[in-house]
């Protein structure tokens, strides 16, 4: 049903798709056991030891925004993990969180009118595999569930959720709001254009987050969100 190319080691699954996109079809996926130069948002790197789900998906056609695709991907991940008994929350714009610690994230690159969805989930990994600087900020499925999860099955479920969810974005949006942990919280957002403090009053179906401070309201589509 899904064509998933499996690699032992790669710099970044997103970068691999960029180099090979002409050979790929819509919804082809690339998984790697190890990423040596995994990417986070902006200049951030992503630590990718063996045992995680390091997956990128080529999306050649998606009629909505990058932000809507991020919401759809987040919900698809959450629902795939729920089926394994692992319950997560979502933090804008792209974090998968358990008890305020990051379990995974999403990186979406636009390319030639389409998108590459990069997904990183710390599944069957010990915390000791990560740098000391991350250990108080992240968690892993093995740490939480004390057992290994089926990486291949989760990858296929996520891909199926994204593909099917394209036709039910209203349901996806409602589900995202139910899983989101930001609404109502005081935050600081650091965006490419400004830093703004305020209370989160909503997240739009196109992925924009609305923040209000003393009657002034801003909508942001990218940036880092910090709880204050």
- Asked if residue 126 and residue 76 are part of one domain, the reply reads yes
- Candidates 129, 155, 153, 156; CA nearest to 140 is 129
Q: How many domains does the chain have?
A: 2
Enter the tokens of residue 104.
């995974």
- Asked if residue 204 and residue 171 are part of one domain, the reply reads no
What's the CATH code of the domain at 50? 3.30.930.10
Is the whole model's pTM more than 0.85, yes or no? Answer: yes
pLDDT the model gives residue 159: 98
- Asked if residue 115 and residue 42 are part of one domain, the reply reads yes
Enter the tokens of residue 177.
């709001």
Task: Tell the burial category of 116 from Cβ atoms under 10 Å away from its Cβ (0-12, 13-18, 19+).
Answer: buried
Residue 187 β-bridge partners: 198, 227
Does position 9 have pLDDT exceeding 80, yes or no?
A: yes
- Asked if residue 125 and residue 24 are part of one domain, the reply reads yes
- Asked if residue 212 and residue 151 are part of one domain, the reply reads no
pLDDT the model gives residue 147: 94
Q: What is the mean pLDDT of residues 36-59?
A: 82
Chain centroid to Cα 121, Å, comes to: 8
- Asked if residue 190 and residue 174 are part of one domain, the reply reads no
- Asked if residue 171 and residue 212 are part of one domain, the reply reads no
Cα 228 from Cα 226, distance rounded (Å): 6
Q: Using an 8 Å Cβ cutoff, are 4 and 31 in contact?
A: yes
Task: Tell the burial category of 4 from Cβ atoms under 10 Å away from its Cβ (0-12, 13-18, 19+).
Answer: middle
Is the peptide bond preceding residue 116 cis, with omega within 30 degrees of 0?
Answer: no
Q: Using an 8 Å Cβ cutoff, are 142 and 123 in contact?
A: yes
- Asked if residue 209 and residue 136 are part of one domain, the reply reads no
Helix then strand then coil, in percent of the chain rounded to 5, is: 30, 35, 35
- Asked if residue 89 and residue 11 are part of one domain, the reply reads yes
What's the CATH code of the domain at 214? 2.30.30
- Token look-up 């394209």 returns 166
- Asked if residue 222 and residue 156 are part of one domain, the reply reads no
Q: Is 205 left (phi over 0), alpha (psi -120 to 50) or beta?
A: alpha
Point out the least confidently predicted range of 3-12, 131-140, 214-223: 131-140
Q: Which residues contact 37 (CB under 8 A, 6 or more apart)?
A: 11, 12, 15, 45
- Asked if residue 131 and residue 115 are part of one domain, the reply reads yes
pLDDT tens digit string along 140-191?
A: 999 999 999 999 999 999 999 999 999 999 999 999 999 999 999 999 999 9
- Asked if residue 140 and residue 63 are part of one domain, the reply reads yes
Domain that holds residue 207: 186-227
pLDDT tens digit string along 163-174?
A: 999 999 999 999
Q: Which residues contact 76 (CB under 8 A, 6 or more apart)?
A: 157, 158, 159, 160, 161, 162, 165
């Amino acid at each position: 049903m899904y064509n998933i190319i499996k690699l032992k080691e790669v710099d970044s699954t997103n970068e691999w798709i960029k180099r090979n996109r002409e050979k790929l079809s819509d919804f082809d996926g690339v998984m790697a056991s190890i990423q040596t130069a995994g990417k986070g948002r902006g200049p951030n790197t992503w630590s990718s030891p063996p045992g995680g789900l390091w997956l990128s998906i080529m999306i050649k056609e998606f009629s909505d925004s990058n932000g809507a695709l991020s919401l759809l991907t987040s919900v698809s991940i959450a629902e795939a993990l729920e089926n394994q008994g692992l319950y997560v929350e979502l933090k804008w714009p792209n974090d998968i969180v358990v008890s305020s610690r990051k379990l995974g994230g999403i990186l979406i690159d636009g390319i030639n009118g389409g998108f590459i969805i990069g997904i990183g989930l710390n599944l069957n990994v010990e915390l000791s595999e990560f740098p000391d600087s991350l250990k108080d900020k992240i968690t892993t499925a093995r740490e939480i569930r004390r057992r290994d999860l089926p990486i291949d099955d989760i990858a296929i479920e996520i891909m199926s959720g994204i593909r099917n969810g394209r036709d039910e974005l209203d349901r996806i949006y409602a589900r995202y709001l139910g899983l989101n942990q930001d609404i109502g919280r005081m935050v600081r957002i650091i965006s490419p254009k400004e830093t703004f403090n305020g209370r989160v009053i909503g997240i739009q179906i196109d992925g924009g987050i609305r923040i209000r401070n003393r009657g002034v309201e801003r909508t942001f589509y990218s940036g880092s969100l910090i709880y204050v």
